Structure 1
Amino acid sequence: MKTILWRGVAFNSLEYFNIQEKQDHQIVVSKIIGYYQEKIYSATYQLTINKQWEIEEFFIDSEVDMIKNTLTGKKTGINWEINHFDNPSFKGFLYIDISLTPFTNTLPINNLQLKIGDSKEIDIIYIDLINNNIKPVRQRYTRTDLREYLYENIVSDFTARIQVDENGLVLNYPDLFEKIAGN
């Protein structure tokens, strides 16, 4: 088991994160609390990830200014069930991106196994917990160094150089997240 504490720089948050290796998958359990855009929020998420770092299932409980929300997702073949209903918008998607955590960047970073200088565009299920929104998004990852990746959101032109540790877990995501403790 690995435990990490991340600070959300832009999101005024703390995240207590655990990842546990099982025989044929990994389980992530995490808790986030914070304050962003004059909204107090908390979120708890649990992810099931296969050995290739592809998301298989997620469960997210969140509360923003006392409004509670639960979001579930389960991959069935190449399809996704979101809150128990088939959602064709996400057909074939392998990853999710939860807005309030740097961890979900680890999924494509570890799955793609890019060589330095290589890049790949991918489709992501983007989950904006603050605004209670879920949508498909196109992203690009480029490996720029042994432990650095250029992240690009294709639609919004947002870019960031993300530093990771030897396990692909985020150490520094400039102006958004930084690891402050871990074992």
Structure 2
Amino acid sequence: MFESAPATAAWQHRGARTGFEIAYFKVSEAGVQIDGCTTAVEDGQVWAVDYQIILDPQWHTRRATVATRRRGGWHTVELDSDGAGHWTVDGVPDTALAGCLDVDLEASAVTNAFPVHRLGLDLDATAEAPAVYVHAAGLTVTRLEQVYHRIDDDGPHQRFAYTAPQFDFTGTLIYDESGFVLDYPGIALRAH
């Protein structure tokens, strides 16, 4: 079990991109609301992504509004879920996302907390956690297959072997006592 979410958190992007992310958390009996912004330079492109994500009390993503600002203006995408794995993208049902309970923003380190909170894995347990993946450039929405395997804790910090086959990525994610990423190798490092 994790402690309560912090009021704020921040991450420094590193490796894949250079930039910064900040997030604000509002926890109530209705669930969790996260408002955040991330900016980066990646492959010579500059972008900013603003987001608001609503989670129910069990940490299922129920709604995400994501807006990107790039050269040429704004683009926004609205994602809605019934909490049972059925999604609409800008009001249109998307059956390719069936079974996903989480949203994962390419631009964000905060979204890797959702499956960890929702699953509550015991030591040495493994779970598949497919997610609705929102690409930073253009906000394209696709399905992301991912696997979390809880490995030995590092003192008070939980650790997970994380795999995202689509990106040929495997790494160890380290989480704080509130269940938010401290270290995401090659992606982000917690700054606050």
Q: Same fold (TM over 0.5)?
A: yes
Aligned-partner Cα distance in 2 for 1:179–1:150: 18
Correspondence 1:107 to 2:114: yes
Aligned position for 2:80: 74
Give the alignment partner of residue 85 of structure 1, picking from 89, 92, 102.
Answer: 92
Per-residue CA deviation, residues 95-141 of structure 1 (Å, 9 max, x unaligned), is 11100111111000111111111111122111111253211121100
Give the alignment partner of residue 5 of structure 1, picking from 10, 34, 57.
Answer: 10
Contact 1:39 1:65 in 2 (8 A): no
**Structure 1 length normalisation: TM-score?**
0.93
Which segment drifts farther, 97-106 or 86-95? 86-95
**Structure 2 length normalisation: TM-score?**
0.89
Which segment drifts farther, 35-44 or 149-158? 149-158
Which segment drifts farther, 62-71 or 115-124? 62-71
Give the alignment partner of residue 49 of structure 2, picking from 43, 47, 50.
Answer: 43
Correspondence 1:153 to 2:160: no
Aligned-partner Cα distance in 1 for 2:85–2:66: 21
Aligned-partner Cα distance in 1 for 2:166–2:39: 28
Aligned-partner Cα distance in 2 for 1:145–1:50: 28
Contact 1:12 1:35 in 2 (8 A): yes
The structure in which a higher percent of residues are strand is 1
The residue type equivalent to 1:44 in the other structure is: D
Identity %: 19
Correspondence 1:118 to 2:125: yes
Give the alignment partner of residue 59 of structure 1, picking from 52, 60, 65.
Answer: 65
Give the alignment partner of residue 134 of structure 2, picking from 100, 111, 127.
Answer: 127
Contact 2:29 2:57 in 1 (8 A): no
Contact 1:7 1:177 in 2 (8 A): yes
Aligned-partner Cα distance in 1 for 2:13–2:61: 23
SS in 2 for 1:104: helix
The residue type equivalent to 1:166 in the other structure is: E
How many equivalent pairs are there?
Answer: 181
Using the TM superposition, give the Cα deviation of residue 70 of structure 1 relative to its aligned residue in structure 2, in angstroms.
0.3
Contact 1:8 1:176 in 2 (8 A): yes
Long gaps (5+) in structure 2:
1-5
The residue type equivalent to 2:176 in the other structure is: D
Q: Where does structure 1 differ by over 4 angstroms across 4 or more consecutive aligned residues? A: none
Aligned position for 2:176: 165
SS in 2 for 1:93: coil
